[in-house]
Amino acid sequence: MWRNTKGSPRLPFAALALLLAGGTLLSGCASGAADSLEQDVAQLRQDVNALSLSVHRSRGDAETALSQVDRRTRSDAAETTRRLSALATRVDGMAAELSRVSARLEDVSVRLEGLGRQLASRATPAPSPGQAPVAITPAAPPGSGGGASAEQAYQVAYLDFTKGSYPLAVSGFREIIRRFPDSPLADKAQYWVGESYFSLARASAEAGRTQEASRQFEQAVQEFRRVIVNYPRGEKVPTALYKEALALLELKQPRLAQARLQYLLEHFPQSEEAPLARERLASIPG
């Protein structure tokens, strides 16, 4: 232990050594704090970089997922449209087949009625004794000129339609309407005029004659509308409404077609065409 005596040189040197030691210690502490701070800053930078990378990856994953969802949505929409189109085609085919079957039934019914009348006209009572037998006048064959009945003329015109001779069918059905305006077959004849033009238009469209097909579809619309206007209580009105709507769709007039189908559903909800009209309405873009 050193002594603090007057004139002793040890005190200044000791104090100086102590100060140097303290400065070194403080310098070391400051250096350590600076190193620690730099490490903290470096760690923070590393954390920020990692977080930024994670954000970019998450954004990329989200964009990829959204893109996949968008592609899947477009694919599903395209598939739905394709299925609706296929369904509409099937419905059209079923409607055409239904029209053919209905026409065959009408044809058979007309023939049976004509046969019944012929049998009734030929059935005569047995002559009484001394009475001369009554002569039987044979019925006029179908299609035999002006003497043909409405039923016979209808059979001839419908036969032309089934053969694809649509112009002849139109002429025959128009003749029935002209000669027998009050006949129960008049509204059916008018409907088959429209059906003949509709079939002509389909054939023209398949052959690539677009303008001719458009004119024939327009004529079909007019003929189907005459069924509704001239024979509002006729049994062919619902069918005429449905086929008019189909012709309007072919003419790229979906709003008018939609209105006709709505009219059909509102006024003839129990008709055979009502389910077809609902399906067709569902396939028309809103």
Residue 92, domain CATH: 1.25.40.10
Determine, yes or no, domain membership for 26.
no
Instruction: Please give the tally of structural domains in the chain.
Output: 1
| Confidence band for 87, pLDDT divided at 50, 70 and 90 | low
- Residue whose C-alpha is closest to residue 187's, from 238, 136, 119, 140: 238
Q: What percent of the chain has pLDDT over 70?
A: 56
The pair of structure tokens assigned to 68 is 């996949």
State pLDDT tens for residues 165-181.
999 999 999 999 999 99
Determine, yes or no, domain membership for 232.
yes
State pLDDT tens for residues 41-66.
677 677 767 776 776 676 677 677 67
Determine, yes or no, domain membership for 200.
yes
Determine, yes or no, domain membership for 153.
yes
Range from 2-6, 141-145, 193-197, 230-234 carrying the lowest mean pLDDT: 141-145
Determine, yes or no, domain membership for 44.
no
Mean pLDDT of the region 144-166: 86
Per-residue confidence (pLDDT) for residue 196, from 0 to 100: 97
Res. 117: pLDDT tops 70: no
Structural domain including 172 reads 84-120+145-283
Determine, yes or no, domain membership for 192.
yes
Res. 10: pLDDT tops 90: no
Q: Return the ∠ at Cα 157 (arms to 210 and 180), rounded to 5°.
A: 115
